[in-house]
Amino acid sequence: MKLAVVLLALLSCMLLFELGMSQKDEQKVKPAADKKAKVKPKVEKKAAEKKTKVTTVKPKPKTTPQPPAAQTHLTQVLQRGRFQKVGNTLTVVAGDTLELRCKGSPVQWGIPPYLEEDDEGRLRTVQHDRYGTLILANTTGADTGEYTCFPMYCEDVECRKEYNKAVKVFVFFADPQELFVPSANYYEIIHLRSNRPTVLPCQITSPQAKVTLHREYPPTEVKVDGAEISYEVTRGFTIHRPKQYHAGSLYCVASLGNLRQSSTKYMLIYVNYPAAPPAPFIQASSDPVTVGQNLQVTCTVVGDQDVLVEFTWDYPGQTIGRPLYTQDSMQTVQVDGQSRQRSQSVLLVDEVREVDQGTYTCTAQNLEGSRSASTTVKVVPARSANKPKKP
């Protein structure tokens, strides 16, 4: 934590130094204390607190030589030509204009998905000689999200994003009426997948809001201990290892000052996901098989318990409309002292004909994906074996 603060301080100082050196139009950069007075104290309180910590280590850069600034920076353009280096998050009062500046020629911008769909003409990006700007006017709480600058690397006319130099800032548009980013839906269905963390976004518009997690039935507050469930202001609640008992209807409550609001509801449905797609094993009852005999091709998957595996078949007789007869079964087996589930599909081919010769493929599918296995079966004429007996 302390290290992070020191690093942040160093970065801020490097930027201030660099801005002063390299961009004459940015000479108006003012010390942090000045910014505090400018922005609304209610919303910027936390940011102001952070700044005080930063100032204690500030004198350092004057005595230490500066390494070349390889890292790109995002700068917020404030009113009357003032600039402010932005950290990981930034708070703007909803209704105000956001103006970000990013060094690079050219740069590309990443914006929240909702804005990508339709910004209603409020979003403008301008490329200057040495930097690009993003200007978002008439902002609302719904604009809250991640804004990214990608400096572009160009050769002749071909340009590509330099992902390793991308800089992000999560911007909150603090709306005194709407603590949560508005959602189009009254409730959202979320699959609690047993094999990966589940996130309940309930994104707030103001980082100062206090957020709690609640269950609808029975009405209880859900304990957020930071291990099983954790909370992050730019991400929401994360259930790290979803279990059946996490399922149900949950919602978030945000409070700030006298305001207390509930988020959209999240219907959590537990789904037992396998760790991986199934690995089928295929085997024919005999190969070659004689015309007139019965053939069985067995496809077997041994995997996690309570995971549904579905089988589909491709077989030579398919092309002439031979019907498909299969017998599917499931059973618990012990493998290396562990209970595993054996899922099996047997393809039955009665009275084999020549058209049944060829490749048999079984595809096993579970929620994580599908895998196939194939085997070839040769069909031999019956007469060659029977003829000598019968004449």
Nearer to ligand NAG, 120 or 158 (CB): 120
- Applying CB under 6 A, the site for ligand NAG has a residue count of 4
Min dist CB 114 to ligand NAG, Å, is: 16
Considering the complex, state which of residue 121 and residue 323 has its C-beta at the smaller distance from ligand NAG. 121
The neighbour count for residue 60, using CB atoms within 10 Å, is 11
Site string for ligand NAG, 20-49 (x = CB under 6 A): ------------------------------
> CB 97 → ligand NAG: shortest distance, Å?
8
Q: From the CB of 156, what's the least distance to ligand NAG, in Å?
A: 35
d(CA 61, CA 209): 35
Least separation in angstroms between residue 143's CB and ligand NAG is: 12
Closest to ligand NAG by CB, 123 vs 167, is 123
Is residue 391 within the footprint of ligand NAG (CB under 6 A)?
Answer: no
Q: In the bound complex, what is the minimum distance in angstroms from residue 136's beta carbon to ligand NAG?
A: 9
Instruction: Name the minimum Å distance from CB 121 to ligand NAG.
Output: 5
How many Å apart are CA 95 and CA 84, to the nearest integer? Answer: 19
Based on CB atoms, which residue is closest to ligand NAG, 95 or 277?
Answer: 95
Provide φ and ψ at 307, rounded to 5°: -115, 120
Show the site string, 106-145: x = touches ligand NAG by CB under 6 A, - = not.
Answer: ---------------xx--------------xx-------
What is the rounded distance in angstroms from the CA atom of residue 223 to the CA atom of residue 212? 9
Which residues are near ligand NAG by CB under 6 A? 121-122, 137-138
